[in-house]
Amino acid sequence: DAMVIQNPRYQVTQFGKPVTLSCSQTLNHNVMYWYQQKSSQAPKLLFHYYDKDFNNEADTPDNFQSRRPNTSFCFLDIRSPGLGDAAMYLCATSRDAGGGETQYFGPGTRLLVL
Amino acid sequence: GQNIDQPTEMTATEGAIVQINCTYQTSGFNGLFWYQQHAGEAPTFLSYNVLDGLEEKGRFSSFLSRSKGYSYLLLKELQMKDSASYLCAVKDSNYQLIWGAGTKLIIKP
């Protein structure tokens, strides 16, 4: 089945210790997104790639970086995690970026910062 | 600014019908999405509306009025597994998805 896969599902890191979250997709979609979601809040878009074109949201902290080495994979790097970065991180894909294009989500990675 | 409003929480009885409302104020409109999100899991796509009217898909229906900036999700024959958060999201003029905070639906036997 075509899908969006995120690893790991749970990640524990220490304050200030770099961490990388990964996302892969078998849908062959052009667009990949990274969201941060805290409890009972809306998902917050951090950045997205249209193919290799990187689009950073204006309020995404510099602490968050992303890489998309190929169509299938996308990584979220948190350079120095703080306690406030504990959240669910969601990867999503869409075939294109137009109006009717649905975003499909991976299962998410829950990040805990100690 | 852009804004999506939904009730924070709703309670309904198994077997009943519930309507979850969503109002939006966005710069432009390129469609409205409803997603279901179970606790600790990722959102899953339920429905998409871009024209006014009702879209029916099994037990779930979604309605849109663009002139009123209003949508609702109607869930019929409620089952315990429908206990989840329901998120409304609108694509704005830049095709960016603007999300509501979600409505937590609690189903009681």
Kindly list the residues from chain A whose CB atom is less than 8 angstroms away from the CB atom of residue B48. 100, 102
Q: What is the pLDDT of residues A7-54, one digit of tens each?
A: 899 999 999 999 999 999 999 999 999 999 999 899 999 999 999 999
Of A41, A45, A102, the CB nearest to B48: A102
User: Does pLDDT of A100 surpass 90?
Assistant: no
Match 């999503």 to its residue by tokens: A92
Predicted confidence at residue B43, as pLDDT, reads 93
Q: What is the pLDDT of residues B18-37, one digit of tens each?
A: 999 999 999 999 999 999 99
For residues B106 and A97, the model is more confident at B106
Predicted confidence at residue B105, as pLDDT, reads 98
Contacts of residue A7, defined as CB under 8 A and 6 or more positions apart, other chains included, come to: A21, A22, A24, A109
Residues of B with CB under 8 A from a CB of A: 4, 8, 30-31, 33, 40-45, 48, 50, 87, 91, 95-97, 99-102, 104
pLDDT > 90 fraction of chain A, expressed in percent and rounded: 89
Q: Are B80 and B60 in contact (CB under 8 A)?
A: no
Kindly list the residues from chain A whose CB atom is less than 8 angstroms away from the CB atom of residue B26. none
Q: Are B44 and B102 in contact (CB under 8 A)?
A: no
> Average pLDDT for residues A57-79, to the nearest whole number?
95
Work out the burial of residue A28: count CB atoms within 10 Å of its CB; fewer than 13 is exposed, 13-18 middle, 19 or more buried. exposed
Q: Which of residues 5-44 of A touch B (CB under 8 A)?
A: 40-43
Per-residue pLDDT of chain B (109 residues; tens, 9 = 90+): 789 999 999 999 999 999 999 999 999 999 999 999 999 889 999 999 999 999 999 999 999 999 999 999 999 999 999 999 999 999 999 888 999 999 999 999 9
pLDDT band for position A2 (cuts 50, 70, 90):
low
Q: Are A107 and A92 in contact (CB under 8 A)?
A: no
Contacts of residue A93, defined as CB under 8 A and 6 or more positions apart, other chains included, come to: A4, A25, A27, A29, A31, A32, A33, A103, A104
Work out the burial of residue B55: count CB atoms within 10 Å of its CB; fewer than 13 is exposed, 13-18 middle, 19 or more buried. middle
User: Does pLDDT of A103 surpass 80?
Assistant: yes
Q: How many CA atoms lie within 13 A of A6 on its CB side?
A: 26
Average per-residue pLDDT for chain A: 94
Q: Rounded to a whole number, what is the distance in Å from the CA of B65 to chain A's nearest CA? A: 17
The residue among B64, B97, B105 with the most chain A CBs within 10 A of its CB, best to mutate, is: B97
Predicted confidence at residue A61, as pLDDT, reads 93
